[in-house]
Amino acid sequence: MAIIDCDAHVEESDETWSYMPPEWSMFRPFAVTFPKDTYFGSHDAAWVIDYKIRLYAANPTIMTRATQKGTSIPIQEMKDIPGRVASMDVMGIDYQVVFPSIWLGVLAENVALEAVLASSYNEAVAARCAESGGRLTYVAVLPWRRPDLAVAEIKRVQQRGSAVGIFCRGMEWDSPLTHPDFRPIFAEAEAQNLPITVHVGNGTSPTISRMLEGISRPRYGDPSPHINPYGNGIVSGPYVQFAFQQILGSDLLDRFPRLKVGFMEAGSEWTVPIIRRLRERRRDFIDGVLGDRVFVACAVDEDLPHIIDKVGIDFLVTQTDFPHGDSFREDHLQESLAERGDLTNAAIGKILSENPARLFTF
């Protein structure tokens, strides 16, 4: 059984921006540090991009927080590919799909700059994946506000190699993924056999970000200074659930009958009530796409027997979230699923290998 980690990450670095064209070089992101005794705590560094200081979880890796995750910086940044592959061997992972880190938030309001940053990121990660002997693959990032540039980038990354999917957040710049403007992107992803992978991200709605700007932050514990505590419960995970309801409740999958979609790092227990409601309208259609074209990444400690009983097992995949240091990190997927004692070996094999192999093409 080949175990597929459907959602690992790379921590972006200066190398990420090294493929920007010379005329854009002056706009390349650069890192700055903060004093270590401020309210930022161990999150004592940030990127400057498009004239703004941008705060992210543990990136840039010059911040203290990046050194506290138990993984070397070169492995986090995928500059040490033998070390990265050795880490996969320790975790029992055969293949790893790499997602971005700072792209979970907003990088640039300037859409032309965003497109250049996306292309440079894709090139940098593809180059590193190519060193892994096929063990490392990645999902490409796109400038969703410019579908014409996004379509061209999809064609480029597919020809370049190592890309196995397309990254997006639960909404893109305040627009639901079902917005007609995005149809050319879905059409090209379908044509290139690249699934859309909807990932958690707190930068998908400038409107919600602006809503929180005029509110003083509370003084209680703030372990994640890059996220306003008043945004908890609105940002990130709920966007993935929103996208799930939008995509399965619309005609998107009818319009693109070969398109596959994965929903990552938001858990899976929420699928039970949502799918129950969706089945009331189109049971045959919903049951037909689940596990064939629609997949959801579960956490290993969820009530998986309940989900399997109510929805099925063929749509479930999972992830390590390596090398991130948050609650979704799970380094030993097979052991953790086996130790539960309530899943058969066949069920574990579906979650770790068979289902991911249908979502992604290896």
Quick one: pLDDT band at residue 81, thresholds 50, 70, 90? Answer: very high
In a domain, 58, yes or no: no
Round to whole Å and give the CA distance between 131 and 124: 12
User: Given a cut of 80, is residue 234 above it in pLDDT?
Assistant: no
pLDDT for 206 equals: 78
Reduce the DSSP state of residue 165 to 3 states and report it: strand
In a domain, 52, yes or no: no
Reduce the DSSP state of residue 87 to 3 states and report it: helix
Tokens found for residue 174:
């305040």
User: Given a cut of 90, is residue 184 above it in pLDDT?
Assistant: yes
User: Given a cut of 80, is residue 235 above it in pLDDT?
Assistant: no
List, for residues 288-314, the tens digit of each pLDDT value: 999 999 999 999 999 999 999 999 999
**Kind of pairing, strands 261-264 and 196-199?**
parallel
pLDDT for 111 equals: 96
The whole domain housing 203 covers 4-10+72-216+225-359
In a domain, 28, yes or no: no
Quick one: pLDDT band at residue 212, thresholds 50, 70, 90? Answer: confident
pLDDT for 221 equals: 59
pLDDT for 271 equals: 98
Alpha helix (H) residue ranges in 214-303: 237-248, 252-255, 271-289
- In sequence order, what are the beta bridge partners of 46? 32
Quick one: pLDDT band at residue 220, thresholds 50, 70, 90? Answer: low
Mean pLDDT over 239-253 rounds to 97
What is the CA angle 160-87-298, rounded to 5?
80
List, for residues 313-345, the tens digit of each pLDDT value: 999 999 999 999 777 799 999 999 999 999 999
Q: Report which of 311, 317, 312 is spatially closest to residue 299, judged by C-alpha positions.
A: 317
Q: Report which of 339, 332, 257, 338 is spatially closest to residue 294, judged by C-alpha positions.
A: 257
pTM of the entire predicted model:
0.96
Quick one: pLDDT band at residue 277, thresholds 50, 70, 90? Answer: very high
Mean pLDDT over 203-228 rounds to 75
Measured CA distances, 278 to 89, 271, 290 (Å): 40, 10, 12
- The region that residue 215 occupies, defined by phi over 0 for left and psi between -120 and 50 for alpha, beta otherwise, is beta
pLDDT for 203 equals: 64
Question: Average pLDDT over the chain, rounded to whole?
Answer: 94
pLDDT for 134 equals: 97
Q: Report which of 3, 8, 4, 51 is spatially closest to residue 28, judged by C-alpha positions.
A: 51
Alpha helix (H) residue ranges in the chain: 73-76, 81-91, 111-129, 147-160, 183-191, 206-213, 237-248, 252-255, 271-289, 304-310, 333-340, 345-349, 355-359
């990450």: which residue's tokens?
9
Residue 164 or 40, more confident: 164
Give percent of the chain with pLDDT exceeding 90.
85
Domain count, the chain: 1
List, for residues 145-176, the tens digit of each pLDDT value: 999 999 999 999 999 999 999 999 999 999 99
Q: What's the DSSP call for residue 193? A: T
Give the domain CATH number at 110.
3.20.20.140
pLDDT for 261 equals: 98
pLDDT for 68 equals: 92
Task: Count other Cβ atoms within 10 Å, centred on residue 291.
Answer: 20
In a domain, 350, yes or no: yes
Round to whole Å and give the CA distance between 332 and 339: 11
Task: Count other Cβ atoms within 10 Å, centred on residue 223.
Answer: 11
Cis peptide, bond prior to residue 323, ω within 30 of zero: yes
User: Given a cut of 80, is residue 226 above it in pLDDT?
Assistant: no
Round to whole Å and give the CA distance between 2 and 95: 8
